[in-house]
Amino acid sequence: MLQLQPSAVAAVINQGGVIAYPTEAVFGLGCDPDNDSAIEKLLAVKQRPWQKGLILVASSFEQLLPYLDITLLTEQQLQFAQSKWPGPFTFVMPIKSHVSKLLCGEFDSIAVRVSAHPVVRELCNTLNKPLVSTSANLAGEQPVVDAQHIITDFSDKIDALILGQLGEQRQPSTIIDARSGQILRSGS
């Protein structure tokens, strides 16, 4: 498993690799959202059923637009989401029809977040697209909060560990349904 700076990871991700990287609260596992083989590998590493769907993190709302059907949202709904970003708020938004079921699971929507974390932002800026994101843990276990656990638990399962510090948050992000405004998970 490579240990890389964020700027050096584009080749790993573009070749279908799965990475671990620091986020606002925990280490995440990520890959290219346009590569179904990479998404399948990530789901296998995490032992997560594809039906549950995944999150996309981005450095800007514009990076998310190829995946979202914003015609199904009102201007007020979009403005509300954008007023919370970048930051610890994840919004469930409607998807375009071409989005892989491996990303959205059995839903017609996907969870998206514009991150304030410098490593996540640098990764997404380097790739010029969002990154698939899920907490670095096996399904049902506690998320990993230190790099040594990534090395111990995932070194033979992932392609790279991105170096950097976790953010200050200790709770996962708040998840809000963009259409209804309902809080699906309270977090930071």
Rounded-to-5 percentages of helix, strand, coil across the chain? 30, 25, 45
Distance (Å, rounded) from C-alpha 13 to C-alpha 33?
10
What is the phi/psi pair of residue 76, to 5°? -65, -40
CA neighbor of 96 nearest in space, from 107, 109, 113, 105: 109
Omega before 143 within 30 of 0, i.e. cis:
no
Q: Residue 117: give its domain's CATH number.
A: 3.90.870.10
This model's pTM is above 0.85: yes
Per-residue pLDDT in tens (0 to 9) along the chain, 188 residues: 566 676 778 889 999 999 999 999 889 999 999 999 999 999 999 999 999 999 999 999 999 999 999 999 999 999 999 999 999 999 999 999 999 999 999 999 999 999 999 999 999 999 999 999 999 988 788 888 888 888 888 989 999 998 888 888 877 789 999 999 999 988 76
Count structural domains, the chain.
1
Q: Which domain holds residue 61?
A: 2-185
DSSP per-residue letters across 15-50: TT--EEEE-SSSEEEE--TT-HHHHHHHHHHHT--G
CA neighbor of 161 nearest in space, from 15, 18, 10: 18
CA neighbor of 104 nearest in space, from 52, 156, 152: 52
